[in-house]
Structure 1
């Protein structure tokens, strides 16, 4: 790998393969509890978000890799005490994380416990410390509670930063690791004390900050397949200034290996691969591994966390425009990138009308020539997407090129 540049197609294929995004549709393993867990473990964690124009982001990330599966099985791995192998906490933002890696989040818990998290001055106030103790005592006595189970006499102001005091206390306890999310009811968190949520088999011997950073850096590089230091930092959601010296140290140790790779635009760049992934790069270069999957990615999918790398390898600019004023959006509110084989070839802005079973695409964009094979593969992925959402009708309001929408509907 160090003697000649890795071809761009091989770099893309390797990056997709480690993410579980090369399997041909229909060839996925059966979506058992083990398969779902292994998929999360393979990519490190799955990001949670509140937006749900279609199924929520953490569910979509699994569908992109497995096709149709039972969402209840995923939830069972997180919230069912008899099957719990995943949990909610901060990793790449709010995430679903394997409990096998629980110890590596201890520095985050310690930092948020000591600093007070989002409100460092708030926890320093004696009355708020008393409130935190009272909220914890009530959960210990009554069992799992939602923030809605606490009442306040103070009026709400409608801002994220003006939560009622009990909710702020719950967030502090959650950040500090004293309570965990034991369930969700209508997507509202149910908090319970750690002792009633955390399985006995979990290793609670917390890692040091140094050990944690090294582990996150190593595992992020493994999950990326091929990436620069900034992409590794983006994946682990850590500042580049913290990550760069760790990467340099891992290179000196031989854990990470510099690889010259072709990137989008015909140039080359020095990227890093985990030494365990070197055979994968060889297989991708030889054609033994091929990118054959067509699927749709959500805006919070692991593949697009490192936005600079997405542009570097695919020439694709991923952006979430949900929080922009409508007049400032280029693509749409909640666009899903379209993966076709080894390329990111377009996107669409969906809205599921649940009462009527209609999936409405407010816009569909293709960045490449809509050849028959591409349309057939997108149509097959769309059929699976519709079925998984219990939708039976597809409406495409507009498309670019203008005839692509009609062509896709004709294939469907």
Structure 2
């Protein structure tokens, strides 16, 4: 049988719909509404860079313009409806997914025991029981509270002295959980004192966890290769993902489709009949200009973003005569179902200061788009707690 072909337009819109960016909802961005958004996304990546706003805050704000950072902290520290751990990177994850992380805890522990002796300062393994007892006896503990007698470097945040390494190991392997943060500093407690008891008691087999991880990734991506499905949560191995796709295809749970790329060629991916049935009912995309985090899930896989949107995006792009064409941390800008440019915008005192905007090739930037961009910058300045927006002379580049 011939495989169905998705046009690039339909593929972009289905992908944005799955990522809650086709027409972002007008919800309050807190409490149950934020829990539902987080569940729909699967996770939100946590990043410490704050040239304008934290990555996780920008990701959620792009989908709920009334969102404010304290709402996400509340899910983890008060409501206990989300937890912090790793997917491909540090992330906030719906609490209902916690039982699936058992397999990740076990696999991460095995990798750490194999690799960390060569990567970390010696002595961390001897601190595991000491640090675990300290947390058990004293409750919430940060890296400042452990390793009192250890030599520490001046690098501070990145100084993984043995006790801090032990603390991270115990968290990554599931014995500790993050109970709250002060600023960006994590505070840990015993997992059974943080994770709700009914969640702790829930048990899934390895096979059930892999099946869940692959099915949940497909629901949130819309279409993907086996490798892209495995990379979504980083729970299933690449071999497990291939085997799952083979079995699911044979059982009729998934189908193969050709996805038209921005350059015109087609790429074979897996999808489902239900996903294809959604396409005719998808709404037109929002015309609002949106500033996205460099770690937004629609762009996190840089190669996929280039294939799907024709958007070549790397953190740094060097041009010899200019030394550096784009600053270290430029923000992608989307309108409708297209990425229309990238912007160098950052905090400068109480202002959001725009150094440069580079439109994508073929994107005309007249007065209407300039006004729409300014309106978006005014909105994001309120998220960042800034008073106004200022533009450098010559900010609109070729």
| TM-score computed with the length of structure 1 as normaliser | 0.85
Q: Deviations over 1:117-143 (max 9, x none)?
A: 574438999964442111111111111
Residue 340 of structure 1 contacts residue 374 of structure 1 at CA under 8 Å; is this kept in 2? no
Counterpart of 1:407 in structure 2 is: none
Counterpart of 2:186 in structure 1 is: 189
Number of equivalent positions:
392
Counterpart of 1:10 in structure 2 is: 10
Counterpart of 1:408 in structure 2 is: none
Cα 1:383–1:161 shift into 2, 3 Å: closer
Matched, 1:33 2:26: no
- Which of 80, 95, 100 lines up with 1:84 in the alignment? 80
Larger displacement relative to structure 2 (140-149 or 300-309): 300-309
- Which of 42, 48, 51 lines up with 1:50 in the alignment? 48
Q: Deviations over 1:20-41 (max 9, x none)?
A: 10226xx612323111111111
- Which of 104, 107, 113 lines up with 2:109 in the alignment? 113
Matched ranges for 1:327-366 at <5 A: 329-353=324-348, 356-366=349-359
Cα 1:328–1:2 shift into 2, 3 Å: farther
Q: CA deviation at 1:267?
A: 2.3
Matched ranges for 1:216-365 at <5 A: 216-237=213-234, 240-284=238-282, 289-292=283-286, 293-321=288-316, 329-353=324-348, 356-365=349-358
Q: CA deviation at 1:85?
A: 0.4
Q: Deviations over 1:282-327 (max 9, x none)?
A: 324xxxx2111531211111111222221111000222239xxxx8
Cα 1:254–1:282 shift into 2, 3 Å: farther
Q: Deviations over 1:24-60 (max 9, x none)?
A: 6xx6123231111111110110111121112211111
Larger displacement relative to structure 2 (117-126 or 8-17): 117-126
d(CA) in 2 for partners of 1:70, 1:171: 28
Q: CA deviation at 1:239?
A: 5.9
RMSD: 3.1
Counterpart of 1:143 in structure 2 is: 139
Residue 120 of structure 2 contacts residue 160 of structure 2 at CA under 8 Å; is this kept in 1? no
Residue 299 of structure 2 contacts residue 305 of structure 2 at CA under 8 Å; is this kept in 1? yes
Residue 105 of structure 2 contacts residue 174 of structure 2 at CA under 8 Å; is this kept in 1? yes
Matched ranges for 1:153-192 at <5 A: 153-156=150-153, 158=155, 163-192=160-189
